[in-house]
Structure 1
Amino acid sequence: MSDPVRAVLGEDQPIVREGVTAMLSRAGIKVVASVGNAVALVQAAAEEQPDVVITDIRMPPRFADDGLQAAVRIRATRPQTAVIVLSQFLDPSYAFDLVGEDPTGVGYLLKEKVASAEVLSDAIMRVVNGGSALDPDVICCLVGRKRKADPLGALTPREREVLALMAEGSSNSGIAERLSVTVPAVERHVTGIFLKLGLQQADATRHRRVLAVIEYLRN
């Protein structure tokens, strides 16, 4: 039997912290530390060296984006630790700050969507395995933004749908199921997206599927 995923949780409300801990435990994820402020979160991540850090964005001591900044710091000092931030706010700039230059092993979820252990545990397993877990509403907001020089302007509506699902972390087969099309059809759309965005030569080890969204929406 493989060892359980080890998690550090950051949440300033004790009741919520206990609820999330119980939810994760039911999903077979071991919470090795549970803290209520961003300073303690960074310290716990350094001491416990968990597989994943899960944190609220707004936390003490400033009650601003302390949790997000702690997550960014943890990623910078220990890239092998996956990070998921939970937010009440649909703010694409937070997602960009978290992702930085590398979209692997990160998640940005809206709290209202995390209503079950299955949703959260699925996101955790994706980021622990080097994938991403970006909330669909965040992706829709990013893809739908109007820009003076829109690098996505050459994409068809269907390619935009595929791009959004790619950024959520969906596989080609998962996209095909969601859109009720064949896997080869999805593969053709993915190839078209890479060609139109100039990513056909991108390094596959850096998850160019996610970079197709992140790099071209960053500006």
Structure 2
Amino acid sequence: MRIVIAEDSVLLREGLVKLLGGVGFEVVAAVDNAEGLLVAVDEHRPDLAIVDVRMPPNHTDEGLRAALDLRKRRPPVAVLVLSQYVEERYASELLSRETSGVGYLLKDRVADIVEFLDALRRVASGGTALDPEVVAQILVRHRRNPIEQLTKREREVLSLMAEGRSNSGIAAALYVSESAVAKHVNSIFAKLDLTAADRDHRRVLAVLQFLKS
């Protein structure tokens, strides 16, 4: 089995290379960023990609978005996400498509090497491997009203957005800095699934969701 690893932690990356090589897998590339993952897959055409969620340059969701891209561009390549986090939105998107050859495991809950290798083989052969915590969080996400995820302060910010106030106007009303308001606004966009692609309309879309709740 040919494997590409995308993991920005050098200790974990080299540890995986040694572990997998020691049990007979061929690690054809080990990279530390999402762009490198896509290049390596195009070059080596592996059977499986092991992908971390948060990688350079921003350490947010680059790896998971790259995994989604791989599923579109290279469907035969199985993808195993190995992360410390459940990035609910993109995880849901990844798992709502063709689920053969896909897995999502939490690093802190991988306690047994034999079980990990079994999950890896299962995903590579077209099966699935999902951490129960990943499944639970995605199910909760689909059941709840996104507005309910907002903190009290985020609701206050969104309420003032609904009044048509700018970030500076919100900052003045709440006696906080504009940078603090900007962080709250970005958090609101993330929790309401308003992506950068919606940049021109995100404030309006956020307000509409708030008014409907």
TM-score range (shorter-chain normalised) is 0.5 to 0.7
Amino acid at match of 2:36: A
Equivalent in the alignment of 1:99: 95
Tell me the distance in 1 between the aligned counterparts of 2:142 and 2:4. Answer: 37
Tell me the distance in 2 between the aligned counterparts of 1:142 and 1:56. Answer: 18
Residue 118 of structure 1 pairs with residue 98 of structure 2: no
Amino acid at match of 2:93: D
Larger Rg: 2
Amino acid at match of 2:8: D
Tell me the distance in 1 between the aligned counterparts of 2:93 and 2:66. Answer: 11
Alpha-carbon offset, residue 146 of structure 1? 7.5
Tell me the distance in 2 between the aligned counterparts of 1:79 and 1:105. Answer: 9
Alpha-carbon offset, residue 62 of structure 1? 2.1
Q: Which consecutive unaligned segments of at least 5 residues does structure 1 have?
A: 150-219
* 4+ long deviations beyond 6 Å: none
Equivalent in the alignment of 1:9: 5
> More relative contact order in 1 or in 2 (CA 8 Å, sep 6+)?
1
* Count of residue pairs the alignment pairs up: 145
Equivalent in the alignment of 1:63: 59
Secondary structure at the counterpart of residue 143 of structure 2: coil
Normalized per residue, the structure richer in helix is 2
Alpha-carbon offset, residue 130 of structure 1? 1.1
Alpha-carbon offset, residue 95 of structure 1? 1.9
1:27-54: per-residue Cα shift (whole Å, max 9, x none)?
A: 3221110001111110001100000000
Equivalent in the alignment of 1:160: none
Q: Residue 92 and residue 148 in structure 1: after superposition, are their counterparts in 2 closer, same or farther (change >3 A)?
A: closer
Equivalent in the alignment of 1:38: 34
Does the 8 A contact of 1:108 with 1:133 survive in 2? Answer: yes
Tell me the distance in 2 between the aligned counterparts of 1:87 and 1:100. Answer: 19
Residue 137 of structure 1 pairs with residue 130 of structure 2: no
Alpha-carbon offset, residue 58 of structure 1? 0.2
Among all aligned residue pairs of Structure 1 and Structure 2, give the percentage whose two residues are the same amino acid. 45
Does the 8 A contact of 2:61 with 2:87 survive in 1? Answer: no
Tell me the distance in 2 between the aligned counterparts of 1:109 and 1:148. Answer: 23
Report the aligned-residue RMSD.
Answer: 2.0
